[in-house]
A = this chain, B = another copy of it.
Amino acid sequence: MESNMIYMPIVLALLGLIYMLVKKSWVMKQDAGDGKMKEISDHIYEGALAFLNAEYKLLSIFVVIVSILLTVVSFIVPTTHWLIVIAFIFGAVFSAFAGNIGMKIATKTNVRTTQAARTSLPNALKISFGGGTVMGLGVAGLAVLGLTAFFILFFHYFMGGEWTNTMDMTIVLETLAGFSLGAESIALFARVGGGIYTKAADVGADLVGKVEAGIPEDDPRNPATIADNVGDNVGDVAGMGADLFGSYVATVLAAMVLGNYIIKDMGGNIVNEGFGGIGPVLLPVAIAGAGIIISIIGTMLVKIKSNDAKEAQVMGALNIGNWTSIALVAVSCFALCTYMLPETMKMEFFGEGLIEISAMRVFYATLIGLFVGGVISAVTEYYTGLGKKPILAIVQKSSTGAGTNIIAGLATGMISTFSSVLLFAGAIWASYAFAGFYGVAMAASAMMATTAMQLAIDAFGPIADNAGGIAEMSEQEPIVRERTDILDSVGNTTAATGKGFAIASAALTSLALFAAYVTFTEIDGINIFKAPVLAMLFVGGMVPVVFSALAMNAVGKAAMEMVYEVRRQFKEIPGIMEGTGKPEYDKCVAISTKASLKEMMLPGLLTIGFPLAIAFIPMIFGMDNQAIAEMLGGYMAGVTVSGVLWAIFQNNAGGAWDNAKKSFEAGVEINGEMTYKGSDAHKAAVTGDTVGDPFKDTSGPSMNILIKLTCLIGLVIAPILGGHTSETAVATNEIEVIETKSSSDKVEKQIEVKIDMDGEIANALITITKTENGKTSSETKKLQGTEEEVKAKIEEIKASLK
């Protein structure tokens, strides 16, 4: 049983994928409606495919270039194995495939949801959420399948399928990092490109359609309306899916790396503790596998009965599914932690030395992760939810004009960082206190275990949004739109909370990667009292700000192209406004597609270029590798801290403006007067929403990718910067207990030896710890010389201790 545990996640992932296929065929069997509806839906489907194809072309080129670079690196750097290239390619392909599944099902589910909404709200929910479920399970299933399969492959390739030592396992995991890098690279295209696409289409459609021509949203006469609906799928479905796919893989990977570090801290071999000696490495994958089955159970619970249900009931149904799956993950974490981990482990805590940790403490850390995942959604909902205090305040401020509306929205987004950051900081602290950085990574892993469920909830929103658009465009009875509006409104809330979940996952993932980075580079930590490190902390802090600006400008540029095209069509196509001329939807789709992929280049370059420049430029100038590693660590920390702040700020400000605008639809009371759509205050709120759109759908969510990709690039570079760079690289780290008297006068002597080879020269760091009469003294020695010299000297020291 125990030795087969390694295959368990694959089985669970396959089960998840099978369930996905079943669900998919069920959705596809539903009635896709009549002529007009089908026609519009086909337009959207084709538009989405057009984007995917264009994206795939671009990213094939990208994958080829990076693969070549990685191959070159793997030939130059002996510790980087060429298999990383294979892992990278598969990571990219799996991620793209997951996005493909999501986009296809979403664009097929929308029209079926509209059709179902003609008769039944419960059925409409069932279908739209079913589409979301397919998406969620596709992402989670492929992530676990790919990661586990490659882990098993490398485990057999590098270690013969049996525990050898932590060094070998490090190489396994370093190679596995390629899979994660591939996944996150695709996320860059999907999230950033998708974010630009969706807002360029949206803003372009609104500016000419609503503002200039005075026709309503989703009006079929507007040439950009299909692009707008495609955008919902590109940004919110494929972008979000790729984002969480990347987080999922990276989190589990980082937890595995830190699990291996525990084995190292425990002496390098815990085969006698079961699970082939890799329990701590396997645990995060096992939890991810369990999470897939749990998510399936969770999705089954999402249903409503009454055809007259309102937002609250729909939200309630989603909440039941969500909270049940969170609770079940907690239970499975308890079971797996106690089952798979040694009862007590030793972990190195910086500045505190080795500390004994029980398996239960790892479980507590996972609880913290689940807590953060739940609470961050509540925090996000408070700051962006309809009828909540912050939104009402923005509505009030709209009465004095766009300026005050904007200030209020910005302030809301900024203030919302307070509780979120305190939550993250508390979670980092607590999960670290429980189980070191392994605890932080396990907290993230537990939170991510419900990814399939989260994505189902999240993807259901844009499907409902599209369903409403199709209802509008195909001129259905008002009741149909009312029903889809209920789903859409809930979808807007889940979109905001989903963004909260995504940023929480990105933040914890980055921290876990950051910790893994430090262990890979074998530096003593990242000391910001060294000026170059501090300087890089500054630079890292700046990058998310500039990235956001570039993303926002990209939306502006792409939207302007859209505006010109729509204006041209309005002018040149006869009868377009009367509904007799047919707009050229595909031209608008093509513009969005092309512009979004072009405009994401610069921010993408910024993301990838900076860490590479920081690592390799000083290397050319002969700077010490360890110093570079510390600088790069400072940069990573800067990007993460600033990126998380700007993500929360932009997401929540954008969400708040959006719902402040929406508040006017039902009417709001301002200074004692009911105010509706079309009022000056509403116009001010619309201006706020225009600013908020790129905030919440482009630059804000892109931050997730930026911080994760930065930390992943760091992790992939890490072995190059680490101690073991030269051909004869050898690194050992052993801890030996020399003497223990367990009388009342306890005497303990312990020696820890670390040897790094730098070419012919061995650098040894020897720490001798003596505990006598309750007093502990430690002594550190550094030795340098040939390997033999150093080893002889160490034996001498050991002998002298006895």
Q: A residues bordering B, Cβ < 8 Å?
A: 207, 211, 350-351, 397, 400-404, 406-408, 410-412, 414-415, 417-418, 421-422, 424-426, 428-429, 431-433, 436-437, 440, 511, 515, 518, 524-532, 534-539, 541-542, 545-546, 548-550, 552-553, 555-556, 560, 563, 627, 633-634, 637-638, 641-642, 644-645, 649, 686-691, 694, 775-785
Contacts and interface: CB of A to CB of B under 8 A. Distances in A.
B415 A550 contact: yes
Contact of A549 (B410, B524, B637, B690): B410
Given A350-B527, A525-B529, A641 B541 contact: yes
Nearest to A412: B549
Contact of A415 (B403, B433, B546, B777): B546
B425 A536 contact: yes
B637 A537 contact: yes
Contacts of A549: 410-412, 414-415
A746 B400 CA distance: 79
A780 B777 contact: no
Nearest to A351: B530
Contacts of A644: 538
17 contacts: A403-B690, A406-B690, A407-B555, A410-B549, A414-B549, A421-B538, A421-B539, A428-B538, A511-B534, A525-B527, A525-B529, A538-B641, A541-B642, A638-B641, A777-B783, A780-B780, A780-B781
Contacts of A552: 407, 410-411, 414
A529 B517 CA distance: 10
B425 A556 contact: no
Contact of A417 (B432, B526, B545, B784): B545
**7 A-B pairs closest in CB distance:** A403-B690, A432-B531, A414-B549, A421-B542, A525-B529, A525-B527, A425-B535
Nearest to A539: B425
Nearest to A420: B542
Contacts of A515: 529
Given A406-B691, A421-B538, A414 B546 contact: yes
Given A418-B542, A777-B783, A401 B687 contact: yes
A407 B633 CA distance: 32
B545 A414 contact: yes
Nearest to A781: B779
A686 B687 CA distance: 14
| Copies of this chain held together in the complex | 2
A555 B428 CA distance: 35
B528 A528 contact: yes
Given A642-B642, A784-B775, A428 B541 contact: no
A784 B777 contact: yes
Nearest to A421: B542
A224 B590 CA distance: 54
Contacts of A783: 777
A537 B408 contact: no
A191 B232 CA distance: 45
Q: Is the interface of A mostly helix, strand, loop or mixed?
A: helix
Nearest to A638: B641
Nearest to A414: B549
A775 B784 CA distance: 8
Nearest to A413: B549
A235 to B, nearest CB: 17
Given A407-B694, A428-B535, A528-B528, 15 more contacts: A350-B527, A351-B530, A397-B556, A402-B687, A403-B688, A425-B538, A426-B535, A428-B531, A429-B531, A432-B531, A524-B527, A537-B641, A777-B782, A778-B782, A779-B782
Contacts of A535: 424-426, 428-429
Contacts of A400: 207, 560, 563
Most-contacted residue by chain B among A400, A411, A428, A530 (CB, 10 A): A411
A417 B691 contact: no
A515 B260 CA distance: 36
Contacts of A550: 415
B440 A531 contact: yes
A524 B526 CA distance: 12
Contacts of A633: 528-529
A637 B534 contact: yes
Contacts of A415: 546, 549-550
Nearest to A531: B432
B779 A414 contact: no
B690 A404 contact: yes
B691 A410 contact: yes
A211 B399 CA distance: 13
Contacts of A642: 541, 641-642, 645
A556 B408 contact: yes
Most-contacted residue by chain B among A402, A433, A778, A784 (CB, 10 A): A402
Contacts of A778: 782
A535 B514 CA distance: 13
Contact of A532 (B429, B524, B641): B429
A207 B207 CA distance: 28
Contacts of A408: 553, 556
A553 B408 CA distance: 7
A587 to B, nearest CB: 21
A603 to B, nearest CB: 12
B529 A350 contact: yes
Contacts of A638: 641
A415 B603 CA distance: 12
A765 to B, nearest CB: 10
Nearest to A546: B418
Given A549-B414, A556-B408, A637 B528 contact: yes
A683 B417 CA distance: 32
A532 B432 contact: yes
